[in-house]
Amino acid sequence: MMLTRRHMMLSSIGFAVAPPSGVFAAGQDGGAQSIGGQSIGGQSIGGQSIGGLAFGSSWRITAASGDLLGVHRVVQGVIADIDMQMSPYIAQSDISKFNAARTTEWQQMPHALCTVAGEALEVAGMTGGHFDPTVGPLVSRLGFGPITGGAGSYTGIEVAADRLRKSSVDLTLDLCGIAKGFALDRIVEAMRARGMRNALVDVGGEVRTLGQNPEGRPWTVAIADPTSTALLRAWTIVAPGPLALATSGHAANGVTGRVSASHIIDPQTGAPASPMLRSVSVLAPTAMRADVLATALCAAGPVDGVEMARRLDIPALFIIGSTAQPVEVMTAGFRDHVVS
């Protein structure tokens, strides 16, 4: 299967082209760069689809029926709310205010932001710091992202239900590698509340499904081949079922091909992640968890990442190696979801 650059460009402005058999493609998440990533997708035959812009990328919902106009308003509200809480690109966002505050006292913050920060800190501990939400200033110095500040560690951030504090005044928080997944979860919750039972939801290439596709079969998702230089191709096709799917890789801002310096930074080394790990796709109960784990495993690299996924029993697909001779490694139960 081939998914051309034209598919990618059309999806980025909220339109879709239909690949065969209702297949969607999960893009590659820049994670450390921004709340956003690359999305390439299409519309299932017989379904209706809506979409728009979100977090420097795009979102799309396809369903057989339902009040998609009402859902469109809900999605835009979720996106605007999360942007104003968690985007470091907005000077007046809550996270920007936290980062700029010259205090180590507790700061009142929205409950949602604290929920995402708590998840980020939990995964930072699980992965031995391969995901670290305080890495923003280093990412910025390497040419990606707007956050400035001092060096630090996730251990210097404390979170409560509606408060955050930092151990030094120049420590910062960056939730860009996890907030998009949280937004996807919020959107799915809102759709269920409106009675929608069959839909596919894609936010920046991260996917969750509800029920069945318009043809009465399970939704299937194509994971892009990160080694393709001329065309965007599908590496494999999976049926996520009730799980969320997130992919992290080195393609930034819609650019594919040879990678000279990744925008994904390994906090353990302070250097760009190894481009030999071309992409990592993760299945998890929530998109927030899938998002952050995919970023962490990609940052860890082809050896430590695979070892970590096996140790933590994370269902993941690793695509490793050169363009000429890539190999795949699957961990935990990922292979159970592969359909072709």
Give the domains, in start order, of the chain with CATH numbers: 87-166 (1.10.3980.10)
Please say whether the beta carbons of 28 and 247 come within 8 A: yes
Beta pairing class for 277-284 and 244-249: antiparallel
Greater confidence (5 vs 97) lies with 97
Average confidence (pLDDT) over 316-339: 94
Residue 113 has pLDDT above 80, yes or no: yes
As a whole number of angstroms, the distance between CA 165 and CA 169 comes to 9
Residue 108 has pLDDT above 70, yes or no: yes
Residue 184 has pLDDT above 80, yes or no: yes
pLDDT score recorded for residue 251: 59
Residue 107 has pLDDT above 90, yes or no: yes
As a whole number of angstroms, the distance between CA 83 and CA 65 comes to 29
Q: How does residue 159 score in pLDDT terms, banded at 50, 70 and 90?
A: very high
Q: Where are the beta strands (DSSP E) in the chain?
A: 2-3, 23-26, 48-54, 57-63, 107-108, 157-159, 163-166, 199-203, 206-210, 220-224, 232-238, 244-249, 265-266, 271-272, 277-284, 316-320, 327-331
As a whole number of angstroms, the distance between CA 132 and CA 153 comes to 7
Whole-number percent of the chain with pLDDT over 90: 66
Average confidence (pLDDT) over 177-189: 96
pLDDT score recorded for residue 274: 82
Average confidence (pLDDT) over 63-67: 81
Q: How does residue 46 score in pLDDT terms, banded at 50, 70 and 90?
A: low
Residue 34 has pLDDT above 50, yes or no: no
Average confidence (pLDDT) over 169-195: 95
pLDDT digits (tens, 9 = 90+) for 227-255: 886 566 899 999 999 999 999 986 543 33
DSSP secondary structure letter of residue 154 = G
Rounded to 5 degrees, φ, ψ at 140 are -65, -45
Average confidence (pLDDT) over 63-72: 84
As a whole number of angstroms, the distance between CA 48 and CA 87 comes to 30
What burial class does residue 290 get, using C-beta atoms within 10 Å of its C-beta: 0-12 exposed, 13-18 middle, 19+ buried?
buried
Question: Quick one: tokens of 104?
Answer: 């180590």
Question: Quick one: tokens of 199?
Answer: 């839909």
Residue 33 has pLDDT above 60, yes or no: no
pLDDT score recorded for residue 175: 96
As a whole number of angstroms, the distance between CA 317 and CA 333 comes to 10
Mean of the per-residue pLDDT values for the chain? Answer: 83
Rounded to 5 degrees, φ, ψ at 177 are -90, 10
Average confidence (pLDDT) over 297-317: 96
As a whole number of angstroms, the distance between CA 211 and CA 198 comes to 4
Q: How does residue 44 score in pLDDT terms, banded at 50, 70 and 90?
A: very low
